């Protein structure tokens, strides 16, 4: 399957570490999962080193830096601690995400508009790491404009609202304030706006094997970061198969979009 015919897939291995941390064992190792993901065709490995270290540990990122053959994308909050860590580890890419201690998972995009000055200084320091810089934002034109102003290379559009509205998610029994078609159109428009100002467009959060199809059909989205659904499927069918099936879904979605 030719890579140009589908968006790139970043496999987020955080929840392999969640399973390990649940028992304080040394297995399963997210480093092993990352290797399997790459063997199955993943284009990138993504990890979120959270302030509370609930899943990924510093050691994981350090070892992944040595073993990842594709591209290592470190998701982190814009804190001084993480800045020092990124400068030491030098990942290929850094994605800044908002972080709240009490949240189950990342709940919303980064408010770039509300902290342009602070983020500008932070990104300037982070540039020393040599990493591509990405901001995880809601699919809003003003957040995209502010991100472009800060000179980052990539914006990752938060697909959470779309996923909550999508009928095929695990949230389907929960009433949703979001309408699927509206949220999809919002993502499509955001991708267009970001592309117009020269940003590479990525997307992620809450995507599964079904709801990803319509988003993969948006031709301007070049990259996806997907974790929970892949790790969940991997626990039943194996990691390589789970990754290969997501790659297949991205391929199918993109073909529909072009057809």
Question: What residues line the site for ligand PXP (CB under 6 A)?
Answer: 12, 14, 48, 75, 95, 97, 105-106, 136, 156, 204-207, 225-229
Q: Can 158 be counted among the known catalytic residues?
A: no
Burial class (CB in 10 A: 0-12, 13-18, 19+), 113: middle
75 catalytic per annotation: yes
Q: How far is the CB of 200 from ligand PXP (least distance, A)?
A: 14
Shortest Cβ distance from residue 259 to ligand PXP (Å)? 26
Q: Which of 250, 160, 257, 143 is nearest to 204 (CA)?
A: 160
Nearer of residues 157 and 258 to ligand PXP, judged by Cβ: 157
Active-site residue, 48 included: yes
Q: Is 241 exposed, middle or buried (0-12, 13-18, 19+ CB in 10 A)?
A: middle
Min separation Cβ 10 and ligand PXP, Å:
8
Comparing CB distances to ligand PXP, the nearer of 36 and 259 is 36
Nearer to ligand PXP, 2 or 135 (CB): 135
Alpha helices in 79-224 (DSSP H): 80-89, 116-126, 141-149, 160-165, 180-196, 212-216
Q: Which C-beta is closer to ligand PXP: that of 55 or that of 186?
A: 55
**Tokens coding 148:** 């472009």
Per annotation, catalytic residue among 48, 156, 164, 223: 48
Burial letters for 61-74: b for 16+ Cβ neighbours within 10 Å, e otherwise?
Answer: beebeeebebbbbb
Q: Which of 15, 38, 75, 140 is catalytic?
A: 75
Which are the catalytic amino acids?
A: 48, 75, 205
């Amino acid at each position: 399957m030719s890579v140009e015919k589908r968006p790139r897939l970043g496999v987020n291995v955080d929840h392999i570490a969640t399973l390990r941390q649940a028992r304080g064992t040394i297995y399963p190792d997210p480093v092993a999962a990352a290797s399997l993901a790459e063997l199955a065709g993943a284009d990138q490995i993504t990890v979120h080193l959270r302030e509370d270290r609930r899943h990924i540990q510093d050691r994981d990122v350090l070892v992944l830096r040595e073993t990842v053959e594709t591209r290592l994308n470190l998701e982190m909050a814009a804190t001084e601690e993480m800045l020092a860590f990124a400068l030491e580890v030098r990942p290929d890419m850094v994605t800044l995400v908002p972080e709240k201690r009490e949240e189950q998972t990342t709940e919303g995009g980064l408010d770039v508009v509300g902290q342009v000055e602070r983020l500008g200084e932070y990104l300037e320091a982070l540039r020393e790491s040599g990493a591509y810089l990405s901001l995880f934002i809601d699919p809003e034109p003003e957040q995209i404009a502010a991100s472009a102003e800060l000179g980052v290379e990539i914006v990752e559009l938060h697909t959470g609202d779309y996923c909550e509205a999508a009928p095929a998610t695990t949230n389907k029994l929960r009433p949703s304030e979001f309408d699927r078609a509206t949220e999809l159109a919002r993502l499509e428009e955001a991708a267009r706006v970001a592309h117009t100002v020269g940003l590479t467009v990525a997307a992620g959060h809450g995507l599964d094997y079904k709801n990803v199809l319509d988003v993969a059909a948006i031709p301007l989205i070049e990259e996806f970061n997907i974790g929970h659904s892949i790790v969940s499927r991997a626990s039943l069918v194996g990691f390589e198969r789970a990754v290969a099936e997501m790659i297949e879904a991205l391929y199918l979605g993109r073909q529909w979009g072009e057809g």
